[in-house]
Amino acid sequence: MAKSTSSDKKSAATSKTSSKSAGSTTKAPKKSASAGKIRPEKDAAENLREFLVDGIKDLYWAEKALVKNLPKMAKNATSPKLVQAINKHLQETETQVTRLEGAFKALGEKVKAQKCDAMDGLLKEAESIMKETEPGAVRDAAIIAAAQKVEHYEIASYGTMATYAKLLGEKEALNLLKETLGEEKNCDTDLTKLAISEINIKAKNS
């Protein structure tokens, strides 16, 4: 009978190891304790009306924050037309703050601002964008980009709140929300026209 060589023994050991590996099952990674179902906060909305009121609180904070930040955008803009557009929307935004106070009253709710994380992030991004661009056409283009992100967020938010108000039969609040929604859409359109007809072209050629 032939003796087993050391290489034969190694092959056999490798074969056994491979066999064990093939037969074993891979354990799924443990899920993080924070993943999965999210627990509601103590003051979480329990119905659509409460969720509507929460949304209006967010918008109230957002509009008041815009009143503080729009002058900064105007100050850093170079194009007279862009400065004019921003100042026009500042006046509209001041009216929109008052309009939201009217919506609170129509709903029989206390006027209260609730920090809007989305708007806070957008305004911080706007300031960062201005720091990252040289004054002139390029910064003007950046300001329009930042402003339109804000407008698109507001259009989505006012549109959703108006839908809820309509469903809940809150006609007075609905009319106030729709009026502001129209202004936000018009502002977005004006910014697009200004970007296409002037600002973006100057930025390209700068």
Q: Is the pTM higher than 0.85? A: no
**172/176 Cα distance (integer angstroms):** 6
Give how far the C-alpha of residue 88 lies from the chain's centroid of Cα atoms, to the nearest Å: 23
Angstrom distance (rounded) from CA 66 to CA 104: 19
Helix and strand numbers (H, E) in the chain are: 7, 0
3-state helix, strand, coil in the chain (%, to 5): 75, 0, 25
* DSSP calls for 63-91: HHHHHHHHHHHHHH---HHHHHHHHHHHH
Q: List pLDDT tens digits, range 141-188.
A: 999 999 999 999 999 999 999 999 999 999 999 999 999 999 999 999
At 46-105, the pLDDT tens digits run: 899 999 999 999 999 999 999 999 999 999 999 999 999 999 999 999 999 999 999 999
Query: Distance between alpha carbon 180 and the CA centroid of its chain, in Å?
Result: 18
Q: Do residues 152 and 131 lie in contact, with contact meaning Cβ atoms separated by under 8 Å?
A: no
Domains in the chain, please, with CATH?
48-205 (1.20.1260.10)
From the list 106, 88, 93, 203, the residue with the least C-alpha distance to 145 is 203
The residue to which tokens 């002037």 are assigned: 198
**CA angle 176–179–185, rounded 5-degree value:** 140
What single letter denotes the amino acid at residue 166?
K
C-alpha dihedral (189, 75, 129, 185), degrees to nearest 10: -20
